[in-house]
Structure 1
């Protein structure tokens, strides 16, 4: 499989793109399975970093199909194919309000989140104050390409 082109300096976000991403409550993470099929899954996330933005998404305590979080399909996918896409969208019956933001990046699974990531997740999602995220893996996505459409602001 050929390598995807990437910007070694990472992606930059416009002010409107950053605000749209920070304000959104959920996104869709798409990994690639071992047959080359996309595997989309809804995620909660936070964005940290100004110069080199990084998206963080935890493997939280919501019910999963497997007991061991390291056996989740998205974790297996990232381990073999770290290229991922994240889609954040806003739907409205008023089509002048439609917008989406697509991020491409490289994902890595870390055994647990750092303190600043935990704090940011719990600030954004109060439900995480009841989750033991300290003992759970987290996905770190270094952004390499950003595409957006519509009325972000």
Structure 2
């Protein structure tokens, strides 16, 4: 399986953003790859606040990194895929926001029954980096 396919098949990624103060911020999130874009959204899962730091950071600095990885006790099976890109915040009712939510719902059935209505993160200008033990 190639790096892009491994990334696309992963169920969770870690999103890294950087705040105006230069402090990195890392959070796990669900995502979907659609051709040349990666999408995620603010969904109904409980959060301490709706003013999410990742959204504030993206608004101030659109450079982001996503990481997926696989660990196994057999270290021959280790791998990771990192994607660097530029993020934008979309309204979920915009054309791209609606299409992004459709792509996310195709990957995560939870979004079919309870469609997210929060902001959508769209990541473009993807640059791929990967490593595999084999």
> Structure 2 length normalisation: TM-score?
0.90
User: Is 1:60 paired with 2:39?
Assistant: no
Q: Is the 8 A contact 1:103 1:143 kept in 2?
A: no
Q: Deviations over 1:81-108 (max 9, x none)?
A: 1100000101111100000001111000
Matches within 5 A, 1:25-36: 25-36=11-22
* Cα 1:33–1:61 shift into 2, 3 Å: same
In 2, Cα distance between the equivalents of 1:128 and 1:29? 20
In 1, Cα distance between the equivalents of 2:114 and 2:53? 21
Matches within 5 A, 1:71-86: 71-86=51-66
In 2, Cα distance between the equivalents of 1:61 and 1:96? 38
Q: Is the 8 A contact 1:24 1:88 kept in 2?
A: yes
Q: Deviations over 1:26-72 (max 9, x none)?
A: 000000022111100001000012xxx11001111100111xx3x11
> Structure 1 length normalisation: TM-score?
0.79
Flag structure 2 segments of 5+ consecutive residues without an equivalent.
Answer: none
Q: Deviations over 1:107-145 (max 9, x none)?
A: 000011544322221121111123232x32100001332
Shift of 1:151: 5.1
Compare the two structures and name the one with the higher strand fraction: 2
Over 6 Å off, 4+ runs: none
In 2, Cα distance between the equivalents of 1:142 and 1:151? 28
Q: Is the 8 A contact 1:45 1:121 kept in 2?
A: yes
